[in-house]
Amino acid sequence: IHMNAVANLKSSLSIVFMYLGLILSRLSDVQSSIEFYEKSLNLEENYLTSFNYVVSLINNEMLGNARVK
């Protein structure tokens, strides 16, 4: 049971970090948004975070900063 709770918390934090990245990107705080997108992806790889991260980089002409896996 404890492992399931940890997995759910990890997933929830990942989503929160993704939304913080999205909000900060919209507020033109690109460097902070990148940090939150990467925190999100370090907790849980998912397509929605990756998509928003790349869109933010493209919108700010920083695509070269994208991490590659």
Q: What length does the chain have?
A: 69
Give the per-residue pLDDT at 23.
Answer: 93
Q: Look up the pTM and report it.
A: 0.79
Looking at this protein, which amino acid is placed at residue 11? S
Give the per-residue pLDDT at 24.
Answer: 93
Give the per-residue pLDDT at 53.
Answer: 92
**What does the pLDDT average to over 4-24?**
83
Question: 47-59 and 2-26 helices cross at what angle (nearest 10)?
Answer: 20
Give the per-residue pLDDT at 59.
Answer: 87
58 is written with which tokens?
Answer: 């493209």
Find, among 36, 43, 41, 34, the residue nearest to 20 by Cα. Answer: 36
**What does the pLDDT average to over 42-52?**
92
What percentage of the chain carries pLDDT values higher than 70? 81
